[in-house]
Structure 1
């Protein structure tokens, strides 16, 4: 299938224990696929497993990736067709390198250098909503907020010309305003850049706002996979029902007089 990233049968094990069991997912260009579940359900591990970025001791025992219908190895996708945005963006940057260095290094892998590279970096940083681009680029990760670093991670994905973005709990460490701005940016890029996104989250409000399709995980397996409207109208799995009940309770409390 054109403009798709398909994962088939991802199984991850630690010693004799199966952590993720037979996960099937399809990401499509121009849409956001939510991956939700309670703590320990395996959603973040699944996200890491797609690109084979696994913690020590965790091994992939099965799983096949197809890009546009052609089988590919995870290592060929990382930082190229598929980019990753992590929950704690500060940990993703070299603390002794400026953000400009990160951007130049990203473009160097595409053989884009010199004045063209500097122009593209400035344009992309502005595209993701980072004002005073030169100051941001000359900064180090510890000098910027979490929200700014999340935007910079997306800028690096755009500079790499990635077609798919894996976003692992990208809003959980952001305040409400920064979270809304990040989702605004993500939704705009999905439309403008035809980006395909896997959005890993435990926040059903984020799912309701941004996602087109949703997969619900429990105990390392996908227990429900439907479009977002059907999930909210008639959740089938007990896990989805629990997540939605908790979300509605919190929402009522937040808006109670």
Structure 2
């Protein structure tokens, strides 16, 4: 990750301690955004990494949750899926009030992926955190799918039709959500070039939505209809965007020092 100012922070929760990092320099105009990873998909992996870069380049401080449940032997050893979800719920009800208390001006954006989305949903159900915007990325919400439409926050869902949870999510998708044909839970399609293009489109679309919730949905629909050949011709743009975001992050860091 680009060398932003980083402050480690620990939160006490029922399962132990959750490690986080606060990225970016606190300025009078800074807003706090939060990136919640999946069970094994960290904030340093592409779908979350580039959104973190974008939030930082917009002037936000970003709290990334660094602990992963896939590294927690106690969570892995639980005998049922229900028990694992309960474990996450208990942590969420302790964790998110502590995060909310970090910012006097409140939480601007939460980007929550997969199991991290379930964790956020648990907190929202009890009104423990109040973000202005939510990006639900490939959510795994167990018994809380209706939160996608019932949340008070402005929100979109990023999901692929080949994701095993798509049919659960489909009835609750907020307007303007990003649905990628043939993409699985990792937002990949089996071909590396096409998968890079999806990464580019997801990042670009989400950044536009974060800047202005009146995003052009017709452009999204046009992108989804692109043929593999058309996507191949555009993959260089994906690489260019990723490079520009990284450069923007580096400039932000240099200006903040």
> TM-score, normalising length from structure 2?
0.33
Rg larger for: 1
> TM-score, normalising length from structure 1?
0.33
Between structures 1 and 2, the one with greater strand share: 1
Greater RCO (Cα-Cα under 8 Å, separation 6 or more):
1
